[in-house]
């Protein structure tokens, strides 16, 4: 098959890959663009990366190109640098026995592109492209599966998943991202082997998991991970959301699991979600099972604070950065404050909207509402109030400091924090606007205390 030339000369990475392949061919070696780039081009999607496969061995690649770096030389992978762009160039190989669900015991090079394709994961990723003439070589019916929107492994799915256990998780990502159906045997082996995901390093699992929740159909991705038995090995706390009923007047959509998936779907825009926002949405109600009570109606008192601690532990377990952990925890702990937004004093409101990443808090609140009762009046109130205060400093420099209190003869202690907080509230309310006024307020406050 010949692919329509949809890649323009403005795509520097494509031109770099084309240069590398041309040089390899001129030196007597077969070479192709492989994998995801070819898949995406066949689907009419502009690729971000172009990987290359060739019959040339690593030492031969080093001789042909000026700038190279071995990144997986024992597996036949070299990095070739062209115009400061990096390209992975892998030697055709046939993998032997696998020892740990990821690494082959031995690697045997081959001159055959067809044999090389047989060790790859899914048929849609087994296509080869010659960028010089845009000819696509298909040894595994990948083009047919793209046309039929079908995901299936190349050859026996059990064998493919045993070779690299992460492929089980990658299957869910591809199903989501490309709106694919799944071949029955492939699906059956994902379910049968779901526990094997525990053999994969948490870093590799996290990377795939993030791609699922930040790209297309994140809520559906969570459902698939749960239905296939994978979620219990990644974030088992999510499974506890199933069957946790909610008050119908606020959550007509269903239980907490259904609501969580819907929130993720409502966040989805044109591009990828921010990682912190996606995690915040996934975990915002994680504390509900532990706080479930039923009196006059179903309630989840202080679930946001219980959930924040749980979210912190989960994110640390998945080895997210400290900054990401703090930001996700804040999204979870603060998401219920919108319920009191209309009753907040100006000072409290200003403190609330001045927290870091408040735009993410607004987005989560909107999605939370759209995934339940659909009432956006509190969001509108918040945005209108922010607009009203646009000419005022939201978080000005405090008029009164600890040094001022010491100069007044006060001894540092627990009262300092109380006094400074009260003075700053009055400043935010607009009741104090000068240093002199602040000092007078402090003197009055000290007398009261």
Task: State the CATH number of the domain containing residue 64.
Answer: 3.30.460.10
Domain termination site, one of 154, 181, 206: 154
In a domain, 169, yes or no: no
- Could you report the per-residue pLDDT of 133-154, keeping only the tens digit for each? 999 999 999 999 999 999 999 9
Domain termination site, one of 131, 154, 177: 154
Indicate whether 346 and 421 sit together in one domain: no
Q: How many domains does the chain have?
A: 3
Indicate whether 372 and 408 sit together in one domain: no
**pLDDT above 70 coverage of the chain, percent:** 93
Task: Please list the alpha-helical segments (H only) found in 335-401.
Answer: 346-353, 358-370, 377-388
In a domain, 370, yes or no: yes
Helix (H, G, I), strand (E, B) or coil at 268: coil
- Could you report the per-residue pLDDT of 276-285, keeping only the tens digit for each? 999 999 999 9
What's the pLDDT band for 438 if we cut at 50, 70, 90?
A: confident
Return the number of other C-beta atoms located less than 10 Å from residue 250's C-beta: 13
In a domain, 262, yes or no: yes
pLDDT, position 417: 78
In a domain, 211, yes or no: no
pLDDT above 60 (res 73): no
- Could you report the per-residue pLDDT of 322-381, keeping only the tens digit for each? 999 999 999 999 999 999 999 998 888 988 998 889 999 999 999 999 999 999 999 999
Place of tokens 């990095």: 79
- Residue 414's contacts (CB-CB under 8 Å, 6 or more residues apart) are none
pLDDT above 90 (res 39): yes
In a domain, 60, yes or no: yes
Indicate whether 363 and 434 sit together in one domain: no
Indicate whether 368 and 426 sit together in one domain: no
Q: What is the mean pLDDT of the segment spanning 176-204?
A: 96
Residue 87 near residue 20 (C-beta atoms within 8 A): yes
Indicate whether 141 and 88 sit together in one domain: yes
Using DSSP bridges, classify how beta strands 51-54 and 85-91 pair: parallel, antiparallel or unpaired: parallel
Indicate whether 62 and 112 sit together in one domain: yes
What's the pLDDT band for 269 if we cut at 50, 70, 90?
A: low
Q: What tokens does 408 get?
A: 């007044």
Indicate whether 373 and 438 sit together in one domain: no
Q: Which domain holds residue 426?
A: 402-448
Indicate whether 264 and 384 sit together in one domain: yes
pLDDT, position 103: 62
Q: Give the residue, 302 or 270, on which the prediction is more confident.
A: 302
Nearest Cα to Cα of residue 253 among 379, 341, 367: 367
Indicate whether 265 and 143 sit together in one domain: no
Query: What is the average pLDDT value for the chain, to the nearest integer?
Result: 90
Domain termination site, one of 139, 154, 169: 154
Indicate whether 313 and 418 sit together in one domain: no
In a domain, 214, yes or no: no
Q: What is the mean pLDDT of the segment spanning 169-180?
A: 95
- Could you report the per-residue pLDDT of 277-317, keeping only the tens digit for each? 999 999 999 999 999 999 889 999 999 999 999 999 999 99
pLDDT, position 76: 81
Q: What is the mean pLDDT of the segment spanning 169-175?
A: 96
Question: CA separation (Å) from 144 to 117, 139, 182, 187, 413?
Answer: 16, 11, 14, 19, 74
- Could you report the per-residue pLDDT of 157-170, keeping only the tens digit for each? 999 999 999 999 99
pLDDT, position 48: 87
pLDDT, position 111: 92
Q: Give the residue, 48 or 275, on which the prediction is more confident.
A: 275
pLDDT above 90 (res 410): no
Indicate whether 344 and 439 sit together in one domain: no
Burial class (CB in 10 A: 0-12, 13-18, 19+), 54: buried
In a domain, 173, yes or no: no
pLDDT above 80 (res 104): no
In a domain, 430, yes or no: yes
Place of tokens 């924040």: 308
Indicate whether 419 and 336 sit together in one domain: no
């Amino acid at each position: 098959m010949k692919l329509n030339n949809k890649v323009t000369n403005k795509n520097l990475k494509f031109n770099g890959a084309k240069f590398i392949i041309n040089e390899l061919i001129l030196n007597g070696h077969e070479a192709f663009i492989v994998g995801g780039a070819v898949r995406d081009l066949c689907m009419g999607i502009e690729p971000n990366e172009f990987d290359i496969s060739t019959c040339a061995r690593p030492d031969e690649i080093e001789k042909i190109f000026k700038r190279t770096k071995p990144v997986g030389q024992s597996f036949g992978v070299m990095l070739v640098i062209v115009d400061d762009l990096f390209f992975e160039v892998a030697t055709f190989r046939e993998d032997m026995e696998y020892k740990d669900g990821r690494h082959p015991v031995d690697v045997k090079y081959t001159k055959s592109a067809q044999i090389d394709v047989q060790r790859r994961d899914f048929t849609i990723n087994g296509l080869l492209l010659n960028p010089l003439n845009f000819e696509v070589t298909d040894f595994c019916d990948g083009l047919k599966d793209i046309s039929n929107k079908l995901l299936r492994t190349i050859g026996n799915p059990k064998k493919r998943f045993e070779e690299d256990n992460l492929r089980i998780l990658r299957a869910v990502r591809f199903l989501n991202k490309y709106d694919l159906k799944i071949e029955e045997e492939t699906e059956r082996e994902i379910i049968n082997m779901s526990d094997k995901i525990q053999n994969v390093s948490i870093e590799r699992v996290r990377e795939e998991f993030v791609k699922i929740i930040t790209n297309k159909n994140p809520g559906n991705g969570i459902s698939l991970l749960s239905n296939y038995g994978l979620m219990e090995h990644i974030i088992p706390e999510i499974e506890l959301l199933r069957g946790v009923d909610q008050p119908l007047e606020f959550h007509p959509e269903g239980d907490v699991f259904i609501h969580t998936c819907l929130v993720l779907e409502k966040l989805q825009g044109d591009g990828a979600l921010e990682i912190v926002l996606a995690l915040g949405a996934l975990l915002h109600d994680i504390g509900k099972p532990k706080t479930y009570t039923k009196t006059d109606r179903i309630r989840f008192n202080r679930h946001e604070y219980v959930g924040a601690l749980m979210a912190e532990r989960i994110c640390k377990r998945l080895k997210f950065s400290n900054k990401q952990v703090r930001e996700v925890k804040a999204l979870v702990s603060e998401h219920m404050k919108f319920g009191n937004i209309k009753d907040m004093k100006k000072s409290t409101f200003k403190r609330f909207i001045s927290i870091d990443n408040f735009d993410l808090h607004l987005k989560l609140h909107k999605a939370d509402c759209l995934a339940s009762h659909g009432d956006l009046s509190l969001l509108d109130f918040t945005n209108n109030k922010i607009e009203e205060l646009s000419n005022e400093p939201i978080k000005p420099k405090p008029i009164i400091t600890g040094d001022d209190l010491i100069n007044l003869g006060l001894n540092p202690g627990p009262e300092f924090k109380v006094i400074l907080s009260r003075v700053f509230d009055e400043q935010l309310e607009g009741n104090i606007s000068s240093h002199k006024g602040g000092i007078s307020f402090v003197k009055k406050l000290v007398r009261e205390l």
